[in-house]
Amino acid sequence: MTYLKKSPWIVHYNASSCNGCDIEILAALTPVFDVERFGIVNTGNPKHADILLVTGSINAKNIEPLKNVYAQIPEPKVVVAIGICATSGGIFRECYNILGGTDKVIPVDVYVPGCAARPESIIDGVVTALGILEQKRLRMNEKAATEAVKVGGTV
């Protein structure tokens, strides 16, 4: 079992959602479902975030903004695609302007299906993301320790 050293913060990016999944994310954050009980905090600043939640399918206009938001999140980071649109393009995937899901642009760690994704599923996806985030953090620490030994050995 792994334990988080700090509260994970999330940032939310709406690619081209109908707002259905976004409302469910808000429901997950607010007291009825209360995802904050896991120490999760919603932030508007990607530089403070650990987990990126993406809703909506990807079109040409949101490729660069999504890459930009992703690039600003410090490592380690985890991406959760919320809803079938963010997962695969959903019902819009055959549209002329739709490229598909979030993983057409950035790597995705967790897929949460549904239209709209239910708050319980979103919480489940975020909790899964927490485990992946901690694994990535441990791998980064191990790699840094290995690099430090290598550097120390060559001095």
Binding site for ligand SF4 (CB under 6 A): 17-18, 20-21, 55-56, 83-85, 90, 115-116
CB 68 within 8 A of CB 91: no
Q: Which residue is nearest to ligand SF4 (CB)?
A: 20
CB of 35 to ligand SF4, least distance (A): 18
CB of 44 to ligand SF4, least distance (A): 20
CB of 6 to ligand SF4, least distance (A): 30
**CB of 53 or CB of 73, closer to ligand SF4:** 53
CB 99 within 8 A of CB 59: yes
**CB of 108 or CB of 116, closer to ligand SF4:** 116
**CB of 90 or CB of 133, closer to ligand SF4:** 90
**CB of 17 or CB of 102, closer to ligand SF4:** 17
CB of 145 to ligand SF4, least distance (A): 42
